[in-house]
Structures are given as structure tokens and as C-alpha cells.
Amino acid sequence: MSTTSKTVAAVDLGASSGRVMVGRVGPDSLALEKAHRFANVPVRVGSTLHWDILSLYSGVLEGLRAADHLDSIGIDSWSVDYGLLDSDGQLIGNPVHYRDARTEGVAEKVWATIPVRQLYAATGIQYAPFNTVYQLVAAQGSAQLAAASQLLLIPDLIAYGLTGIAGTELTNASTTQLIDPHTCDWASSIAAELGIDLGLFPPLRRPGDPAGTVLPEVLEQAGLRGVVPVTAVGSHDTSAVVAVPAGEAERFAYICTGTWSLAGVELDAPVLSEAGRVANFTNELGIDGTVRYLRNIMGLWLLQECMREWDWDPHDVGPLLRDAADVPALRSVVDASDPVFLAPGRMAERIADACRATGQPVPVSLGEFTRCILDSLALAHRRAIVEVQTLADHPVDVVHLVGGGARNALLCQLTADACGLPVVAGPAEAAALGNVLVQARSLGLVGDRAAMRSLVARAQPLTRYEPSGDSAAWRGAAERIARQ
């Protein structure tokens, strides 16, 4: 193992913002600093909601300019969405946003060909209306898809822009609902039955694999020198799970919080039971042949959307949390996973409507709305953590909450109270740290997953929250949600 420190860049693209983080890593050191943060603002053209991929790519280049010397670059982002390239390798339009309405009703069309139970048994991926498989069926017959020679998932599309080399990172590809979790290869029979051409996808690569070197013209644009490799990382939320600071013998669950909350456990094999399908748990591939068995929960999206409507500074949530802390616990709660909250716009109105429809007090003040959202999110965390232990036969003694929500002390405490388990919060920059650690391992600086997690635990500040409050009240609130 190398004893020399290296400098790497983690390009971390989230649903509301992107950033380039610089990691400095040695065998016993791990430091992370922000080089550049930039907005991720979707654009609606006509009736279609798009990602502004060129703006994101420009933000990446600006971040790399701020980073200066680099030994490697890794890219992670949200999953399921993609860009199409023509036969000249040029992008055919901006990628469509997963919150676009084009997939409405498509799932039922797919299930008429492949029953939903068969689809889950073959891929292990939970139902979400925006999964790539439904997006591709929705796009069938379109001029863009007909003109496409290649399809690149978002992190692979950014990597292609840097290197000119196309590939498909496996752990992110598993979210497409087109990967067999047993073979870790394409589910070719599923694709064939649905008329999906798997030849559009470039070859699969795994976390740690080389993804090309930065092109000379891109080096010049980014102000970089020398040969700079791009390394495939766990390019979905896999990166965040890599950075969960759990002990090797610890029986833990994780909650990766941000726009979405992903709550589950790390397993050695998929769980493809019918009970798991009905509970909407998913089997996403992780590094080193692991499976992230989890449920996707709407997450802080509800609060982010409300803050946007209130014209509230997204980086100044403190006053809202202080007001929310003064609101009686569990006064009003909604199902944070209800698809009614998926689309942007009118979020506070939809929350109020849900409370009114279930005979609960309707939030009026900003503090009441914030408390309703956080109580509801803690209940969604509770449900996922309770159910995953039974479905996976995997007892849990502690919950590690990582990602942006780790900075939200009220959410962390409410999650501990709701789950009745200790919550260890941090690191907040888990996705970027996991990205950095996979690159560091490819450079020979760190060892296995246990060594990675041990390094995070030593190098990053963590906060432990013990459960408190009325456990019976949380059980009662969970039952109220179940009846909604």
C-alpha cells in the first residue's frame, strides 16, 4: 500500500445542486474541502422537464479549475436518467428529468407484458414510475431514441465529456431495472420482451475501474496539467454507503439523507421475496459484490420545495428548525412516500390538503409545516428500518444517518425517537467521501471496506443521538400513517 498522500476530485451531482470536492487522502488521513458549488436548475421546454446538462458540465469544469493538481477524478450523481448520443458521439438534446410526466401510465403497459412480480424477481428493483425501464418504454417510437447510437447514464455522460470514453458503471446501472442482481450483468430476457436495445449501453465497468484519462482540450479548459485519470466510483448513492462509519462487527442500518432518503442495510446477496416487493424494497448493487437493500423515501424534497415556494434561503434552515422544535410533536403527519408529493410545485398546499383529508390540524405557520415534514420523514425512516430487519432477517442495533440531513439535529433526534435506536449522524458529505475513498483505493492508499469506514470514523466528526420521548406516541403515529 502506498504511503504517499494523493489529491482527488469528487464530482458530486445532486438533484438541487452540484459540487466539486477535493479530497486529500493518505493511509491514515482523509480531508475534504469544497472547490466549487453550483446550482442544478431543471428547465421546462414546452411540456417536458429537462436537466440542464451543459450547465452542469460547465460547473464541473469550473470546479476542476479550482482544484488545480489532481491524481484522479470520480463522478457520482442521481440515478435512472440518461443522455443519448448520435453516431458521431454528439449529445441528442438535454436529458429528461425523472420528475417529468412522460412515464405516467407506462408501468401498467410494461406489466401487461411482464407481470410486476416477474419483473421484481428478475431485477430486484422496487417500483418507481421514473425507473429507466419505464423511461425507455415511454421513449419508444421517438425520433431521438431512433437516432441514438449510445445511451449514457448521467455520471457516465459527464465522464464521457471529460474523457471521450463511454462506459456504464454497474452499481448505478442496477437502478435501471435492467440488471440481474445475481449475475451482475444485463437482464437480457427482460429487455428483449420490452423491445429495449441493450446495445445502446456501452460496456459495464465497476467501482475502481479506469474510466479513461482527461482529454488534452479538456485539461486546457479545466486548467489541469499532466495525465489525469478518471476512475469509476459507486456512482449512485453507493458512494454514501461506502462512507458509513460503521465498525466491522456492528449490526447497522443506514439512512442516506438529502433530497431523497435511502434507508436500508448492506447485504451479501439480494432479497427477491414477494414480501419485499410489496413493501417496495429495492436491491441496488454496491461495491465489492454487496447489495444495498433499501427503500427510497421522498426525503427532504418536501422541505426543499416548501422553502423554494417561501422564497427562503436554502442554506439557512436554522430559523425554521428552531420554530419547528416549539411545535407539539406529531401534531400532524403525512405519508412522506406518497406519490402525490413527487412533482414540483404547490408542496405546502398538498401537505395541507393531506392533513385536511385525514382530519388532522392543518399547518399554518412555517414552523408547523416544517415540523409536520420532519415528523413525517422520521416516521418513514422508522417504517423502513422496522421492516428491513424482518424482510432481510438482519437485526439492527444502530442507525447511521449520513448525507445532508446529518446536519439537521432535529431530524436526527426525531429519527432516533421514532426508530427507538441510537442514531449516529455524519458524515454530511458521505457521497463525496465515498467517491474519494473508492478513488483512493484504486490508487493503493486504502484497503477494504472496513478500512475505508474506519478511516472515515477517525477523520470525520460524528454526533450520537439516543432515543428519547414517548415511544407509544410514535407507534400511534405510525398506525395513523398506515391508515391514511
The helix (run of H) or strand (run of E) holding residue 379 is helix 366-391
* 228 and 219 Cβ atoms separated by less than 8 Å: yes
Residue 203 burial by Cβ neighbours in a 10 Å radius (0-12, 13-18, 19+): exposed
CA angle 312, 257, 370 (to 5 degrees): 40
Phi, psi at 78, each rounded to 5°: -70, 170
Q: What is the rounded distance in angstroms from the CA atom of residue 348 to the CA atom of residue 126?
A: 27
Residue 274 burial by Cβ neighbours in a 10 Å radius (0-12, 13-18, 19+): exposed
Which residue from 296, 467, 325, 266 is spatially nearest to 383, judged by alpha carbons?
296
The rounded Cα 394 to chain-centroid distance in angstroms is: 22
* 317 and 324 Cβ atoms separated by less than 8 Å: no
- For residue 482 the three cell numbers come to 398506515
Beta bridge partners of 295: 263
3-state secondary structure of 464: strand
12 is catalytic: no
Does residue 328 have a cis bond before it (omega within 30 degrees)?
A: no
| 150-153/29-39 β-pairing | unpaired
Phi, psi at 153, each rounded to 5°: -65, 160
Instruction: Please name the residue ranges forming H helices in 53-115.
Output: 53-67, 106-113
* 382 and 250 Cβ atoms separated by less than 8 Å: no
* 284 and 291 Cβ atoms separated by less than 8 Å: yes
Residue 64 burial by Cβ neighbours in a 10 Å radius (0-12, 13-18, 19+): buried
- 409-419 vs 366-391: helix crossing angle, rounded to 10: 40
Q: Is the dihedral of CA 274, 277, 279, 282 positive or negative?
A: positive
Question: Catalytic: which of 12, 81, 237, 335?
Answer: 237
3-state secondary structure of 266: strand
Q: What is the rounded distance in angstroms from the CA atom of residue 224 to the CA atom of residue 230?
A: 13
DSSP 106: H
Instruction: Please name the residue ranges forming H helices in 93-227.
Output: 106-113, 116-123, 132-139, 143-147, 154-163, 170-173, 188-194, 216-222
- Residues classed as catalytic: 237
